A = this chain, B = another copy of it.
């Protein structure tokens, strides 16, 4: 039984790593689409999201199967339940990256954003690119140090997000209303990508250390319009 369990768990962990790499690629691609008006990149992100969704469904199914057949307890159970939740979080991250890519496709060949705020979004994207790479490393190596970095650094993204909202609220906002809507929604999608990365990082800390991340305060604290 133990051998079967470990083999099954290895298979589902491989799928989860695959999902994390997909999400990383989607985040990188969404940034290319957003900042470089790269239509191919946008389309690739949009097309590939279906595979990420399918992986999520498959991972949850495999976990349910493992629970039924192997009755894992203690650490093994923690890993299986956390794997399910990580898959659901990654699926959502894929959706958010797709939304950003869709925004870029919609306004192509123009940028969805007014020029004056592109630099702030480029900083947010740079942050998310690093976070996306960290997600993959964290998961492949079960590395809680990398997870801690993700959790610790998230304030940087929140501050940048606040800057974009202040810009959007200014009376002399230089763009059109559709651009203003893009600033607000794309900013929110990026902030939520950061929140989900933190939630994933907490879950990896939980898997490795047994410290329960769900007892931590909620990350979505409604800084949306602050």
A interface, CB within 8 angstroms of B: 53, 56-57, 60, 64, 67-68, 71, 73-74, 77-78, 81, 84-85, 88, 95, 98-99, 102-103, 106, 165, 168-171, 173, 176-178, 180-182, 184-185, 188, 214-215, 218, 220, 222, 224-225
Q: CB distance A178 to B169 under 8 Å?
A: yes
Contacts of A214 in B (CB 8 A): 56-57, 60
Closest to A96 in B: B220
The 6 closest A-B pairs by CB, nearest first: A71-B71, A68-B73, A102-B222, A184-B184, A169-B178, A57-B214
CA distance A108 to B169 in the complex (A): 17
Which of these, B60, B77, B95, contacts A218 with CB under 8 Å? B95
Cross-chain pairs A/B with CB under 8 angstroms, 18 sampled: A56-B214, A67-B67, A67-B81, A88-B88, A95-B220, A98-B222, A102-B225, A103-B225, A106-B225, A170-B177, A171-B176, A171-B177, A180-B181, A181-B184, A181-B225, A184-B184, A185-B188, A185-B224
Q: CB distance A169 to B185 under 8 Å?
A: no
Interface-centre pick from A68, A74, A165, A176 (highest chain B CB count, 10 A):
A68
Contacts of A177 in B (CB 8 A): 168-171, 173, 180
Q: Is the interface of A mostly helix, strand, loop or mixed?
A: helix
Which of these, B64, B77, B181, contacts A64 with CB under 8 Å? B77
How many copies of this chain does one complex carry? 2
Contacts of A71 in B (CB 8 A): 71
CA distance A185 to B169 in the complex (A): 13
Interface-centre pick from A78, A98, A222 (highest chain B CB count, 10 A):
A222
Closest to A50 in B: B218
Contacts of A188 in B (CB 8 A): 185, 188
CA distance A98 to B224 in the complex (A): 12
Seed contacts A68-B73, A165-B181; 17 additional CB < 8 Å A-B pairs: A57-B214, A60-B81, A68-B74, A71-B71, A88-B88, A95-B222, A99-B224, A102-B222, A102-B224, A102-B225, A169-B178, A169-B181, A171-B177, A180-B181, A181-B184, A182-B225, A185-B225
